Structure 1
């Protein structure tokens, strides 16, 4: 009995245990099932949140594209314009404001120019917010309001708790650390607001709808307005940050020429970014570029190689590989580990994604006072200057698919030849069969450089010269001096300049040749022939040949020397007279650090045409006696002078040719008493000159007043030639077609019994041009006082420093021109209007000054020359003399002074270095520092290397923080020949501050040309740069003043939007009984960072990278 009871108890216990176990298993199953159900639910909600997030990114992108369309011109604006071709539309911005993504969500006054705790960073573009002036009163001038995307955000803040308590704090919004190390107050006070997603899509929802239950989306309801989720976003301009896949230079390169040249962001000085130390930069760059450094051997070489693929491909070798940053989180992780105590200070300035369409977007603006409305006619087919982004090929695609690489200039070597279809012909339109020939320009039209419209129908891309023609304002080209003879000015001293100088294509070729000669390393001038006239001989062909400018001497002045023999027969009073033209040569360039690797050292002046001298008594009619003609073409040696020159010869000031610096003259030119006993010219005279004839004269009485002059019988052309390696003399500088209808007259009382030379030599008249490198305005004439004689030992006129000096732009009447200057009717202005013309002031070319001269271009705009900001006290900017107290342009060290013109003799390091190239106008180089520059578009048309159509590492200057701008410009070179002259930390700070303040207070820059000329009449940015510099040298010398433009020109991206869209998406539904939008139940959440690049002009997404963010 007991045993049976014991067994029953055991069975019961076992049963109870089994029940417990089964219950536990059942409960576990139920728990697991519930957890799995919840997991499945949350996973499903996460997928829904992901779908909402990705859809939100598509919607935000679509809104951005819609904004582009709304902010773009429609066809027939201006009349006749068409922006759609073969179904392809170009989105030309209506205004500069609509060229940038609009700022939405914050008051404009809340933005700063740098990262700070009390102001919003300039790279912040917008946040999802319900109220903003952009929606409340859309700027109708900037957008077609009807095309703008609708507002979508509601009033519920992301910091408001949801029905289940979920919030997105402002600190979470700063996870990308783009707001700064700490969230600035304006953002903290105005965080993003939610966009609610309903079954019909996102729209503005209200608390009232929530209270009325209209937003419920339960499974059992079919409410079309039911809320399924919500999202919020912040958009940053990542293109305004330093792309750390490109930017940054190691210590080893910070003192190199490439670093000072600022070719790419790779040479940015990252130590200018707050908190970023050079040792951190060095470690990062060596890790990032390890493959390139291993392969190229140096950072500079690695950068150059990376540039050819647009910095978009990593380099690898068998032993090393580059380490690009694939996401912003990669970058944050790297610097958090490398520099944990400081990284939050500097990562707000850094990015990892940037793309720039490597094509110009310039369209011409119309300068004040211009007679040509460039902007209004930019869409007309016959206009030389078009809206470049809207120039199309036959397929409707852009005609200029990418910027022209200046590295192609390397094709034009001394020995290069070119046949039709060759690389040189395709890129430059140049042909020649032998290196001993000049180049001939012919790219489909042997007489002209084509316009872009003509190139379009030729079915090819434009060449180098065609791009120059398209980019340089047409009305700034082809200014001529008018016709010769008559009027108060007398007209130029040469004939046919109103025809030859007015050919704008010829000036384009000269500018192009000057660019070529800046780039190449040799010292031999480039020569390019354009068949504009039917040349009957070699000299006439020279008039249609464009010669480049090298670091060589040039023809500056011709002295007209007349003298008499003493009379040995007092009864007959018979005597002789003779004439000479004595050349002066001058090299106006500063002494380069490295002269051309190959350069000429032997030179010759050759004369073409005919001349004679004339004699007459001023009181006796018909007493004129003329000499036999001297025909220099029939007897070439009669008009030739040869001389040698080293790299430093003739540089300080204009130098007369004498026996000390030129070869011994022919016998005909040795008219001194040591050779001719009867001459009154000084014994031992040392000058070397060109004889213009001799004659016998017989005055009617002792002391008779006579007139003598040198007269061209046919136009005289003087050609300065260099001797090449083969021994052939080749032309490079002309003083052409002198034709003085009134001769070169002088007069004095001469005693036939004179025994001394006083009064018998008359070096009174001279022909001169302020800048010897150009013959555009012909030459002018002036005279000295009577009785001036030669200095026997010096071989020149005894006039103090006057004839060894340049024409000066000041009130000293010793330097005034008396006759034969360009005509007022051709755009030239003189004060006073007659008697004394101060053409030395063409080196400034400013209006409204007393005792000065200026000229306007063909479009009526008076554009300043390189010296317009000169400082007369220090000499800075004084291209024609040293200081206010010293007449000549001589002085200790003056030959290498920074205000003299520069010849680089090397490849360009930035597009801004085109500003060194001579413009074929007196003391004018291509202008990147004046408000009326006609050349600024060149910055947008050219690039440095052969780069792809899309590149990385460029910067949107409109929204870049000051510290980023400072990093770009710091260390930029101011003076090519003085490496120590750079934009220091202080300089770069003021420049960066000025640029950031400028774009904050004015309309955005639309293209690189706006670095110089504001498109809408705002304050000129180049003047802002100039005002930000402190020293007299920086303010007055053009090369110094353009340092900022050079630094920014190759790194600026003002066409492609590079945005980082930070979106947080939540799935869920309105809670039962919700009384407001805050009654949303959060059931799932995802976060994404979308890096996206959009071409503002084509509306195409250039590239994008999606970064999933896990928190």
Structure 2
């Protein structure tokens, strides 16, 4: 039976309560114990973490302090030899920059590491005459193990992949950081008391808290891989458009370990599809480092290294020593004149001591009215606070602030702005933008000869009044604005090279003085250069015309396009065929003015409508003229005066594109739809004027060779045996161009080439070239006289007399009994007597070919583009075939043997020439201007006007006494065709008719001297500063990216910059890898011992070094002699390097390892440091060499 509930044992309630309490207490004890254990553990972990964190902070502080010290030491190095200009104490300026200090001093480097600049070592980081570096390391090498076994071996130091430390002996040493700062430890002692390195007492400043070591690399000489490289799909034409930028450089030409296609496909994932636009627009208009949407980039060097290690973007480890991700350049010039004229054999005159005067504005030898234009550019600074307005590539304005002491030129002037100066006014931007950037406004000319004709006017950056001078940069700075194009151009071109006058020394008011008035003002030449630069960069063929005020007259400075110009004017006198008989006692001579045209350029684009306009007075007179038939008396001789009131003749479009070879203007060249060309029998109406007609040339009646000449009235002669002449009177007929203009300026004679500019009001004819002088008629032909041959110089056998009884025939058949010997050109009478009398038996009268059309005087230009040296007059003495008489021009083709030194010669042939030249005048030699010396590129001994033994050499010196060679000045052969623009097409200049792709292309710009473009190739260059002041790249920032230091020790990088550059844009010759390699080797060899201070030295220093002797001597650094001696080909390396290089900014990577810690109480040596924490940084820093300013920096925390 089951027990009842009452039978079960009952529990004690009090005992149950006590048991639960015990269990609860014990549980709480366990929990508390666990909490206490956890707390103690956590506190111990926290203590360790806090200690580690504090030590990490200490290491970071040591690292950052070390980096600041290293950068400061680099800045201090800049004043090691001279203190900076402290006019503005907060903005120091280093004015002593030279080839010996333009780069940091090398310390602790080795031949295996071309990129290494310095390491921390026991040697001072720099030494100088004024100061030496203080950041000297201890004797403890980083490869030496610390007290607790820490060290930095070569593998770790080689982590940047910029070269390899070959052994521990050449790795950096430790610099000790104490509470007082950095030290090499030489004064430290050890001990537990006193001011020792291991006494932690709070007042001990010698207590060591850490150490650091560094290696500094020059990454400025490497290729910025964030920019370099382009798609292989680009056409040659597309590649040429970007060749002036680093984006147009192939890094594969520096090392073939780069797969460029893979690089571009990864980096330019989106932009490669329109790469040229990406380079020319996106990169030019966005801040440095901006990444195109959809593209990739390398954010740091570690990023680059990881990509190379992973085979990403076509990279491998072997390419890393050639590449960087950081490149900066101060976007401002650092140029200052590098020589005095006297140092190169020139003038000792004080104003031509360019280098000595670089810091002078308007004090002696200058003045406030004649300030110095050629200053040390960083030294031209603002004196007040201003807000400067500048403009982006689309004309949009932006502003930046400047303070006292800031440089005036804060941004290089981008040549892309030249497109704003259009043929019909401002192009794509507001007129105010053009005025601000060029000082130009669009308006109608003030020249009364061109009323309502639109031209550009130089008025300066404000106002509307035409200026009489261009302001200097110091004046611009005082106005608180950015300088305009012409102000910069004036600052760049040495003053003593401007304004050379062919009639120097002529008295004021004399015909010689007036005729060359336009040659003296430097402003006129600067404006012409600027206009020519605009014409090079535009796509049209309308020459740019700029008007300014000279004295009180409006002067027109005309640019240069590829158009025909007047090479010479040839007056011709002779009888028409069939007009004389043997019984006549008088005859009428026809007088013509013929015009010889030449387009001296290699390239011809689509020309505008072109015409020739002739105006002024012409007199023809002769003692034996028929006074009864001639209306005027000139002096005491009968003659006539023709007044030419703007006689026009328009060329056909074909002719406007022709005249690549000098030739006489022919009937076939005339646009008869706009110009009425008279027949051969047409005469002027009224007779006192002139008429355009077909004129027979000697010995021909072919319409294809008929000249288009301006016919004047006939000249009646009396004939007969009584009209005897002496031998000196053979050329007794005289022609006077600009008759009586010396007293009446309006009588001045000239022929003008004009182009038609279509405008809304119907168009206008605008001048672009004058046969002599400019639009100011005081510079025209004014009473310029030449003789015309009318009889043979062969004496008659019977009596030895000369008879004025025959006038040279112009063409067609001769009178009965007369024949022409086609072989000799001699016209002779087959009868045995005079056709108008009966001389003694056996007499013959000869009319030598020299005394026909081809013997006429010529008023010739040295260079149809140039206004310098004006027209000269000579009697042609050639023996060209009769059928070639229409080629009566200055330097006809195929006359090398006959005229080896160019037409001219002694005073018997040259009737009028510039006064600075001697009796022997061979103007073709002005295409060389080297005095026959094959060292002219750097010659300091050829600056005299007359050189012993070289009287047949025609040459001149500039106002500063320096002979600066012309474009063909590297050729020296006396009789060959090489280097002769009159004979070889490749020696002619080129008009690009497209935007400049590199600043070096300014070398194509005409300089307004015979056969001279801007000189970017010789030691005496007065134009080399252009390479530093201007840029083909546009940027609104104060610094730009993608520049390589010219002093790079990495010749493969230089080679990459050179490969593919266009040597000749017309012949489509580009630089191959072999030639680029030779040039790179030569240039890097030069810079290994001679540092380049400024890009301008590519012209003045590097170019002469590459081939100090030219002519037929080849240096081996160029493809061939033509590549060496033809200016535009030689300057190819300058064009390649001009925009992608720099020298002003130090681009450095500082690899710094910092350790925090202490010396233990028992430490007795510097090597017994106990390391507690470590930090490593790579600091990329760009420092302006002229100011010491850090213009940009980027830091990487290195993860190992």
Tell me if TM exceeds 0.5: yes
Instruction: Find the counterpart in structure 2 of residue 1010 from structure 1.
Output: 1097
The alpha-carbon deviation at position 344 of structure 1 amounts to 1.6
Indicate which of 841, 865, 870 corresponds to 2:966: 865
Match of 1:99, SS state, is: coil
Determine whether 1:264 maps to 2:245.
yes
Instruction: Find the counterpart in structure 2 of residue 194 from structure 1.
Output: 174
Match of 2:929, SS state, is: coil
CA distance in 2 between counterparts of 1:508 and 1:669 reads 47
User: Structure 1 residues 102 and 810, CA, compared in 2 at 3 Å: closer, same or farther?
Assistant: farther
Instruction: Find the counterpart in structure 1 of residue 601 from structure 2.
Output: 589
| Mapped contact 1:761–1:789 kept (Cα < 8 A) | no
User: Structure 1 residues 437 and 73, CA, compared in 2 at 3 Å: closer, same or farther?
Assistant: farther
| Mapped contact 1:774–1:920 kept (Cα < 8 A) | yes
CA distance in 1 between counterparts of 2:888 and 2:767 reads 32
User: Structure 1 residues 876 and 24, CA, compared in 2 at 3 Å: closer, same or farther?
Assistant: farther
| Mapped contact 1:249–1:267 kept (Cα < 8 A) | yes
Pairing 1:447-462 to 2, within 5 Å after superposition: 447-462=468-483
Instruction: Find the counterpart in structure 2 of residue 1106 from structure 1.
Output: 1195
Instruction: Find the counterpart in structure 2 of residue 92 from structure 1.
Output: 95
The alpha-carbon deviation at position 575 of structure 1 amounts to 2.7
CA distance in 2 between counterparts of 1:1063 and 1:550 reads 57
CA distance in 1 between counterparts of 2:317 and 2:327 reads 21
Instruction: Find the counterpart in structure 1 of residue 562 from structure 2.
Output: 551
Instruction: Tell me which moved more, 48-57 or 775-784.
Output: 775-784
Pairing 1:327-476 to 2, within 5 Å after superposition: 327-338=300-311, 343-366=316-339, 367=341, 368-371=344-347, 372-381=352-361, 382-395=371-384, 396=404, 397-417=406-426, 422-433=432-443, 436-443=453-460, 446-476=467-497
The alpha-carbon deviation at position 548 of structure 1 amounts to 1.0
Determine whether 1:719 maps to 2:766.
no
User: Structure 1 residues 1046 and 417, CA, compared in 2 at 3 Å: closer, same or farther?
Assistant: closer
CA distance in 2 between counterparts of 1:665 and 1:222 reads 107
CA distance in 1 between counterparts of 2:655 and 2:640 reads 40
User: Structure 1 residues 498 and 729, CA, compared in 2 at 3 Å: closer, same or farther?
Assistant: closer
CA distance in 1 between counterparts of 2:552 and 2:1124 reads 47
The alpha-carbon deviation at position 861 of structure 1 amounts to 0.8
Indicate which of 1137, 1146, 1154 corresponds to 1:1065: 1154
What TM-score, normalized to structure 2?
0.77
Indicate which of 654, 663, 679 corresponds to 2:662: 654
| Mapped contact 1:492–1:821 kept (Cα < 8 A) | no
Q: How large is the Cα RMSD of the aligned pairs?
A: 3.9
The alpha-carbon deviation at position 340 of structure 1 amounts to 11
Instruction: Find the counterpart in structure 2 of residue 631 from structure 1.
Output: 643
The alpha-carbon deviation at position 260 of structure 1 amounts to 6.6
Instruction: Find the counterpart in structure 1 of residue 61 from structure 2.
Output: 51
CA distance in 2 between counterparts of 1:622 and 1:730 reads 34
Instruction: Find the counterpart in structure 2 of residue 991 from structure 1.
Output: 1079
CA distance in 2 between counterparts of 1:247 and 1:258 reads 13
CA distance in 2 between counterparts of 1:268 and 1:341 reads 16
Indicate which of 225, 247, 260 corresponds to 1:244: 225
Unaligned residue ranges in structure 2 (runs of 5+): 1-27, 362-370, 385-403, 445-451, 628-632, 685-692, 742-747, 773-779, 792-801, 808-814, 820-826, 828-846, 934-949
CA distance in 2 between counterparts of 1:51 and 1:862 reads 61
User: Structure 1 residues 306 and 355, CA, compared in 2 at 3 Å: closer, same or farther?
Assistant: farther
User: Structure 1 residues 839 and 341, CA, compared in 2 at 3 Å: closer, same or farther?
Assistant: closer
User: Structure 1 residues 1082 and 254, CA, compared in 2 at 3 Å: closer, same or farther?
Assistant: farther
The alpha-carbon deviation at position 357 of structure 1 amounts to 1.5
| Mapped contact 1:845–1:853 kept (Cα < 8 A) | yes
Which string of whole-angstrom CA distances, capped at 9 and with x for unpartnered residues, describes residues 384-441 of structure 1? 1011111112322221110111111111222225999711111111112469501111
CA distance in 2 between counterparts of 1:677 and 1:660 reads 12
User: Structure 1 residues 284 and 924, CA, compared in 2 at 3 Å: closer, same or farther?
Assistant: same
User: Structure 1 residues 680 and 576, CA, compared in 2 at 3 Å: closer, same or farther?
Assistant: farther
| Mapped contact 1:251–1:282 kept (Cα < 8 A) | yes
CA distance in 2 between counterparts of 1:393 and 1:520 reads 34
| Mapped contact 2:696–2:707 kept (Cα < 8 A) | no
CA distance in 1 between counterparts of 2:899 and 2:698 reads 37
CA distance in 2 between counterparts of 1:603 and 1:306 reads 40
CA distance in 1 between counterparts of 2:49 and 2:711 reads 107
Determine whether 1:603 maps to 2:610.
yes
The alpha-carbon deviation at position 501 of structure 1 amounts to 0.4
Determine whether 1:563 maps to 2:574.
yes
| Mapped contact 1:469–1:508 kept (Cα < 8 A) | yes
CA distance in 2 between counterparts of 1:315 and 1:392 reads 34
User: Structure 1 residues 723 and 324, CA, compared in 2 at 3 Å: closer, same or farther?
Assistant: same
CA distance in 1 between counterparts of 2:1161 and 2:381 reads 59
Pairing 1:763-774 to 2, within 5 Å after superposition: 763-774=855-866
User: Structure 1 residues 906 and 915, CA, compared in 2 at 3 Å: closer, same or farther?
Assistant: same
The alpha-carbon deviation at position 217 of structure 1 amounts to 2.7
Which string of whole-angstrom CA distances, capped at 9 and with x for unpartnered residues, describes residues 460-486 of structure 1? 211111110000111111111016999
Which string of whole-angstrom CA distances, capped at 9 and with x for unpartnered residues, describes residues 658-684 of structure 1? 223235644687589xx9999999766
| Mapped contact 1:575–1:696 kept (Cα < 8 A) | yes
Match of 1:720, SS state, is: strand
Instruction: Find the counterpart in structure 1 of residue 621 from structure 2.
Output: 614
Indicate which of 1027, 1051, 1069 corresponds to 1:962: 1051
| Mapped contact 1:207–1:1075 kept (Cα < 8 A) | no
| Mapped contact 2:453–2:764 kept (Cα < 8 A) | no
Match of 2:955, SS state, is: strand
What TM-score, normalized to structure 1?
0.83
User: Structure 1 residues 929 and 802, CA, compared in 2 at 3 Å: closer, same or farther?
Assistant: closer
The alpha-carbon deviation at position 270 of structure 1 amounts to 1.1
Pairing 1:640-1039 to 2, within 5 Å after superposition: 640-646=648-654, 649-662=657-670, 663=672, 665-666=677-678, 686-699=706-719, 701=721, 704-705=724-725, 706=730, 707-712=732-737, 713=739, 714=741, 715-725=748-758, 726=762, 728-736=764-772, 737-739=780-782, 742-746=785-789, 748=791, 749-750=802-803, 752=805, 755=815, 756=818, 758=827, 759=847, 761=852, 763-785=855-877, 791=882, 796=886, 803=892, 811=900, 816=905, 818-820=909-911, 822-823=913-914, 826=916, 828=917, 833-834=918-919, 836-847=920-931, 850=950, 851-870=952-971, 878-882=979-983, 889=984, 894=985, 897=986, 899-948=987-1036, 949-979=1038-1068, 981-1002=1069-1090, 1004-1014=1091-1101, 1019=1105, 1028-1039=1117-1128
User: Structure 1 residues 703 and 46, CA, compared in 2 at 3 Å: closer, same or farther?
Assistant: same
Match of 1:299, SS state, is: helix
| Mapped contact 1:510–1:548 kept (Cα < 8 A) | yes
The alpha-carbon deviation at position 1043 of structure 1 amounts to 1.2
Determine whether 1:290 maps to 2:269.
yes
CA distance in 2 between counterparts of 1:190 and 1:1072 reads 31
Instruction: Tell me which moved more, 740-749 or 604-613.
Output: 740-749
CA distance in 1 between counterparts of 2:696 and 2:911 reads 35
**Number of residues of Structure 1 aligned to a counterpart in Structure 2:** 1007
Indicate which of 588, 601, 614 corresponds to 1:576: 588
User: Structure 1 residues 702 and 555, CA, compared in 2 at 3 Å: closer, same or farther?
Assistant: same
CA distance in 1 between counterparts of 2:873 and 2:895 reads 14
CA distance in 1 between counterparts of 2:422 and 2:695 reads 54
CA distance in 2 between counterparts of 1:796 and 1:172 reads 81
User: Structure 1 residues 261 and 994, CA, compared in 2 at 3 Å: closer, same or farther?
Assistant: farther
Indicate which of 203, 215, 218 corresponds to 1:234: 215
CA distance in 2 between counterparts of 1:708 and 1:776 reads 29
User: Structure 1 residues 519 and 647, CA, compared in 2 at 3 Å: closer, same or farther?
Assistant: farther
Instruction: Tell me which moved more, 1050-1059 or 260-269.
Output: 260-269
Instruction: Find the counterpart in structure 2 of residue 13 from structure 1.
Output: none
Pairing 1:27-106 to 2, within 5 Å after superposition: 37-71=47-81, 73-75=83-85, 84-85=87-88, 88-106=91-109
